[in-house]
Chains A and B, each alone.
Chain A
Amino acid sequence: MNTILNINNLSVDFDTEYGIFHAVDNVSFTVSKGQVVGIVGESGCGKTVTTLAIMRLLDTVVGASIQGEILFEGQDLLSLRKKQMHQIRGNEISMIFQEPMTSLNPILTIGRQITESLELHLKMSSKQAKERAAELLDLVGFSDPYQKLNDYPQQLSGGMRQRVMIAMAISCNPKLIIADEPTTSLDVTIQAQILDLIMDICDKSGAALMLITHNLGLIARYAEKVIVMYSGNIVEEGIANQIYYDSHHPYTLGLLKAVPRIDGDIKKQLITIEGMPPEQTDQLIGCSFEPRCVYSVEKCKISTPKLESIQKHHLASCWQSAELKG
C-alpha cells in the first residue's frame, strides 16, 4: 500500500514550571492512502498533541519543542516554512475539531467560514466559492443550504455545527482528514449520523482518515488499523481484529474489560485498571504502565519495552506480551 503519512520518532515536549512534560514520546506510525486509522487512549495520553503536531499547530505554543519527522507524501512537514505549511493545512490535510461550539468563529457567518479556504486554496471567485459552499452544505445534510450560508454558528445546534465543520474540512478535497473526537460532545443518535457522514465522504473521495477518540466502540465500528496510546507512547498497534480479539498489551486488555457494554452478560463488577496514569514530567524508568499493570514482573520496572512485532501488522510494547491471553 502507498503510505500517505509517515511519522518517525515524533516527540513533543512542553517546558512547564514543573519540569519538562513529555506529551508525545518517540512515536512512529504510518497512514496509508484511503485507510481509516483509529487512535484510542485516555485523556492526557498524547493523541491530540500528535495531531496538533501534524498540523503544525504547536508552532506558536510557548515552550513546545518537537523532534522527529512527519512525512506527508514524502515531504517533512516539520521542515516546511510557514507559508508552505499554509498551502497544505486545510488543503491537503484538514481537521475536524472536537468542540463544534468553540471551534467556529462566532462573528463570521457560516458561508464566510467555508468560502475562506475555497478562495485561499482553490483560488475561486467569491461567487464560485459561495456556490461550492452551498453544495457542500447540501452534501453534509442541510436542507436549505443557501439560506444557511448567512447564519451564524450560534443559530445552529451542536450536530449542525459539526456538519459545518465537516463541510469546511472536505471543502478542498483533502487527502487526509484528521477527526479529533468529532462526536464526543454530541448525542448518540446524532453521533451515528455524523460519523456515517464522515465515513461516506472518505469512501467517496478516497481520503484517509485519522479518527481520534476514547470510545472503543466507535473504533471497532469504523477503523481498519488501531493505535492504542498510553502516557505519550504507542503501546499497541494492529488491525482492528488483532487488537480486539488478540491483544498483546495489558493496557488494551484492561480497557476492553473496563468498558461497560450493551451486549453480553452484565458483570457484577466492572474489571478496572487500578490507579491513575502517571505524570509525564517524571523521567520514568521501565514501562510507563507498570505501576497499574497486573502482569508486571521485575524486568518491567527496570527497562522500558520497545514496540515489537507480534505478527504481521501487529506491534506491542510489553515484556510480558507472550504471556498474555487475548
Chain B
Amino acid sequence: MNKIKNTEYILSVKGLKKSFPIYGRGVFFKKHIGDIHAINDVEFNIGYSETLGLVGESGSGKTTLGRCLLHLEKLTEGIISFKELDFTNINISQLNSLRKEMQIVFQDPYASLNPRMTCSQIIGEPLKVHNIVSTKEEYEIRIKELFDLVGLNHSMANRYPHEFSGGQRQRLGIARALALNPNFIVCDEPVSSLDVSIQAQIINLLIDLQSKLNISYLFISHDLAVVRQISHRVAVMYLGKLVEIGDSDQVYSNPLHPYTQALLSSIPIPDPIKEKKRKRIILKGEPPHPMDPPSGCVFRTRCPIADEECSRIIPPMVKHNDNHEVACLKVS
C-alpha cells in the first residue's frame, strides 16, 4: 500500500472506472461483444464524519460505486484511497483488516439477513470473524450494547429475522454494520423499502449514530428528499458519471446541471397549493443503455438545452464555487 498525502478526507476516489464485460455466443468460446460502463471516470472525496449523498436513477451506477468503494467489486481503473492508504491493489489479508473499518447497510432488509440465524448470531458474526472479542461475556456485552445503540430490545436477541418488521430488520442490518466500530459505512438505499413513519425513525437513527460515533456515510438513494435530510454534501449521478457535486444547501437551492434541475422539479412536495403552482421540467424519454452511452455528454439525449457541441465534447467537472462543481458545457 502506498501512502498518499491526504489528511482531510477519510476516502477519496480518483478516475474510478468499472465496466462489466458482456459475452455473446462465439464459435468455440464465448465471444466478448461489449462492455457495460457502469461507472465512468468518477472522482470525489468524503470527509471525516461527513455524509455524502449519492443520488441517481436506477441503472446510473450508484450501487456499483458503493460496492467498488468496499472492494466488493474489482475496479477496472482508478484509485481509491481510504485514510491515506491507497487500497486499489491490496491483498486479501490487508483487505480483511480494512473491512473492519468499512461496512455496508443493504437495501432490502428482507433479503440481507440470514433467515436461519438468530439476531444475536447475525450481529455477533462479524465479532467472531474478526476476533474482536475474546470471552463469552465480552461477546454478550457487546451484543447488548449494539442492540441498545440501534434502539432494539435486547430481549429479542434470540428471535429470527422473520419475526421482525421491516424497520426493525433495518435496525438489525445497521447493528451488524456497527459491530466492528467502522469509520465508514455505505448505506445502499437503507430506507427505500420502508413506510414514511418508519423511514423517519431510521433516518434519525443514522443521524444520531453519526454524531455519537463519528462515522462517515456514503448514503445512496434515489429519493432526493431523504438525501437532503441526511447529507452534508450531495453527488448526482447519471449513466455512470457524476454530473454535479456540492454542498447540500447549494445543490438543492441552486441546482446547476439540467439533470439535477429536472430531478428536483419532478419530486412532488406535500403541499397542494405550492405544488400546483410549481414549474416542472419533465424529461423526455428514458436513460440510454449503459452499454452504448451517447458521445460527448451522457445526458444530451434527454437534455432540454443540449446542442451540437454537447455531442462532441465530454464536459469536465468545473468548479462553480468552492463547494459546488458541475459537469455541463452550458453552465457558465
Tell whether B197 is near chain A: CB-to-CB under 8 Å: yes
What A residues does B2 contact at CB under 8 A? Answer: none
Q: Given A263-B269, A270-B204, verify A190-B286 contact (CB < 8 Å).
A: yes
A244 touches B196 (CB 8 A): no
| B266 adjacent to A269 (CB under 8 Å) | no
Residues from chain A with Cβ under 8 Å of B275 in the complex: 217, 220-221
A259→B198 contact, CB < 8 A? no
Counting chain B residues whose Cβ lies within 8 A of the other chain, the interface size class is 35 or more
Q: Is the CB of B224 within 8 A of A240?
A: no
Q: Is residue A271 contacting chain B, with contact meaning CB distance below 8 A?
A: yes
* A276 vs B252: C-alpha distance when bound (angstroms): 32
**Closest Cβ–Cβ distance, residue B161 to chain A (whole Å):** 16
A186 to chain B, nearest CB (A): 9
Min CB distance A295 to B, Å, is: 16
Contact of A272 (CB < 8 Å), options: B204, B262, B268: B204
Which residues of the other chain, B, contact A191 by a CB distance below 8 angstroms? 266
**Which residues of chain A come closer than 8 Å to B158, judged between CB atoms?**
none
- Distance A217 CA – B58 CA, assembled complex (angstroms): 21
Return the contact of A187 from the options B203, B204, B222 (Cβ within 8 A).
Answer: B222
Is A221 within 8 A of B276, CB to CB?
A: yes
Q: Determine if B283 and A269 form an interchain contact, defined as CB atoms under 8 angstroms apart.
A: no
In the bound assembly, the distance between CA atoms of A77 and B224 in angstroms comes to 42
- Alpha-carbon distance between A90 and B331 when the two chains are bound, in angstroms: 49
Bound-state CA distance A258–B198 (Å) is: 9
Contact check, A196 vs B200: say whether CB atoms are below 8 A apart: no
**Residues 237-271 of B contacting A (Cβ, < 8 Å):** 248, 252, 262-264, 266-271
Chain B 55-88, CB-CB to A under 8 Å as 1, else 0, gives: 0011000000000000000000000000000000
User: Which residues from chain B contact A193 at a C-beta distance below 8 Å?
Assistant: 282-283
Contact of A42 with B197 in the complex, beta carbons under 8 Å: yes
Chain A residues contacting B264 (CB-CB under 8 Å) are 262
A215 to chain B: closest residue by CB: B268
B167 touches A276 (CB 8 A): yes
A188 and B263 contacting across the interface, CB-CB below 8 Å: yes
Q: Does A157 contact B (CB under 8 A)?
A: yes
Give chain A nearest CB distance to B109 CB in angstroms.
13
CA distance A192 to B263 in the complex (A): 10
Would you call A260 and B197 a contact (CB within 8 A)?
A: no
Most buried by B among A159, A187, A218, A241: A187
Residue from B198, B271, B280 having most chain A Cβ neighbours under 10 A: B271
User: Does B226 sit within 8 A of A, measured CB to CB?
Assistant: yes
Contact A217 B201 (CB under 8 A): no
Q: Which of B197, B252, B273 contacts A258 (CB 8 A)?
A: B197
Contacting pair B225 A260 (CB below 8 A)? yes
Is there a chain B Cβ closer than 8 Å to A84's Cβ? no
Q: Are A270 and B229 in contact (CB under 8 A)?
A: yes
Alpha-carbon separation in the docked complex, A43 to B167 (Å): 12
Q: How far is the CB of A153 from chain B (nearest CB, A)?
A: 16
B273 touching A241, Cβ below 8 Å = yes
A219 to B272, CA, bound (A): 8
Nearest residue, chain B, Cβ from A267: B229
Chain B residues, CB < 8 A from A245: 273
A218-277, CB < 8 A from B: 218-221, 240-241, 244-245, 254-256, 258-263, 266-274, 276
Q: A-B contact count, CB below 8 Å? A: 117
Q: Is the CB of B272 within 8 A of A262?
A: no
Most chain B beta-carbon contacts within 10 A, residue among A196, A215, A263, A267: A263
**Chain B nearest CB: distance from A244 CB in Å?**
5
In the bound complex, residues from chain A placing their C-beta under 8 Å from that of B199 are 258
- CB pair A43–B57 under 8 Å, yes or no, is no
Q: Which residues of A contact B229 (CB under 8 A)?
A: 260, 266-267, 270
- Set A42, A157, A160, A267: member contacting B196, Cβ < 8 A: A42
Q: C-beta contact mask, B205-238 vs A, less than 8 Å → 1, else 0?
A: 0010000000000000011111011000000000
B274 at the interface (CB under 8 A from A): yes
Judge if B195 is at the interface, Cβ distance under 8 Å.
yes
Residues of chain B contacted by A86 (CB below 8 angstroms): none
Nearest CB in chain B: distance from A256 CB, A = 6
Using A188-B267, A192-B282, A254-B197 as known contacts, say yes or no to A266 and B228 having CB atoms under 8 A apart: yes
* Interfacial residues of chain B within 125-181, with CB under 8 A of chain A in the complex: 165, 167
Q: Which residues of B contact A273 (CB under 8 A)?
A: 197, 200
Q: How far is the CA of A280 from the CA of B289 in the complex (A)?
A: 45
Given A189-B283, A240-B272, A272 and B197 touching (CB < 8 A)? yes
Interface membership of A216, Cβ < 8 A: yes
Separation in Å of the B306 CB from the closest CB of chain A? 16
Whether, in the assembled complex, A214 has its beta carbon less than 8 Å from a beta carbon of chain B, the answer is: yes
Option from A157, A216, A263, A269 in Cβ contact (under 8 Å) with B286: A157
| B contact residues around A217 at 8 Å (CB) | 267-270, 275
Specify which chain A residues have a CB less than 8 angstroms from the CB of B271 in the assembled complex: 220, 244, 263
Name which of B264, B271, B272 has the most chain A CB atoms within 10 A of its CB.
B272
A249 nearest CB across to chain B (Å): 14
Q: Are A260 and B228 in contact (CB under 8 A)?
A: yes
List residues of chain A with CB under 8 Å of any chain B CB: 42-43, 157, 159-160, 187-193, 196, 214-221, 240-241, 244-245, 254-256, 258-263, 266-274, 276
14 additional contacts, CB 8 Å, given A219-B270, A241-B272? A42-B195, A189-B262, A214-B195, A215-B268, A217-B268, A217-B275, A220-B272, A244-B270, A258-B196, A258-B200, A260-B200, A260-B225, A266-B229, A270-B200
Give me the interface of B with A, judged by CB distance under 8 Å. Answer: 57-58, 165, 167, 195-201, 203-204, 207, 222-226, 228-229, 248, 252, 262-264, 266-276, 280, 282-283, 286
Enumerate 14 A-B pairs (CB-CB under 8 Å) in ascending A order: A187-B58, A188-B266, A189-B262, A189-B282, A190-B286, A192-B266, A196-B282, A217-B267, A220-B275, A244-B270, A259-B200, A262-B224, A270-B204, A271-B200
